[in-house]
C-alpha cells in the first residue's frame, strides 16, 4: 500500500505567522494533493500537482501556496496565517485512480 507521511502532525502558530506543512510519498505517484477538513464542509481541495515543478489550483486556494520540489515531496505554505486556516490538513497521492491519504496535520492559528 502507498505510504504517505506528513509533518508536523500538530502545529500551533499565531496570526500572521509563517507555516510550512510537509508531505512525502514513497511510491512514485504522479499526483499529490493538499486538502483541508472542517466541520460542516468535508474535505476541500486546496492545491494539487501532477509532477515535480507542476502546481494546479484547487477549490479553496486563497491564502495558500504550494510547491512540488520532487516526485516525492509536496509542501503547503501559509505565509500569513489567519484563524480561519485552523483546520485538519491532509495530503494524498495517487497514480491514476485511488488516492492514498497521509495521517493529517492539525493546525491551530491563534
Query: Which residues of the shown chain bind another protein in the complex (CB under 8 A)?
Result: 30-31, 33, 35, 40-45, 48, 50, 56, 58-59, 88, 90, 92, 94, 96-104
SS3 3: coil
Cβ proximity to another protein, 17 vs 58, nearer residue: 58
**Least distance to another protein from the beta carbon of 25, Å?**
14
SS3 85: helix
> Can you name the residues that pair with 101 across neighbouring β-strands?
92
Cβ proximity to another protein, 52 vs 88, nearer residue: 88
Q: Could you tell me which of 56, 36, 33, 34 has the C-alpha nearest to residue 44?
A: 36
Cβ proximity to another protein, 86 vs 99, nearer residue: 99
Amino acid at each position: 500500500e502507498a505510504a504517505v507521511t506528513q509533518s508536523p502532525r500538530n502545529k500551533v502558530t499565531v496570526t500572521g505567522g509563517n507555516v510550512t506543512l510537509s508531505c512525502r510519498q514513497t511510491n512514485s505517484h504522479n499526483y499529490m494533493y493538499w486538502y483541508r477538513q472542517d466541520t460542516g464542509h468535508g474535505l476541500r481541495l486546496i492545491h494539487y500537482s501532477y509532477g515535480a515543478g507542476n502546481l494546479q489550483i484547487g477549490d479553496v486556494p486563497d491564502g495558500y501556496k504550494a510547491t512540488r520540489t520532487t516526485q516525492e515531496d509536496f509542501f503547503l505554505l501559509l505565509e500569513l496565517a489567519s484563524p480561519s486556516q485552523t483546520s485538519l490538513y491532509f495530503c494524498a497521492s495517487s497514480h491514476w485512480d485511488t488516492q492514498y491519504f497521509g495521517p493529517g496535520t492539525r493546525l491551530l492559528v491563534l
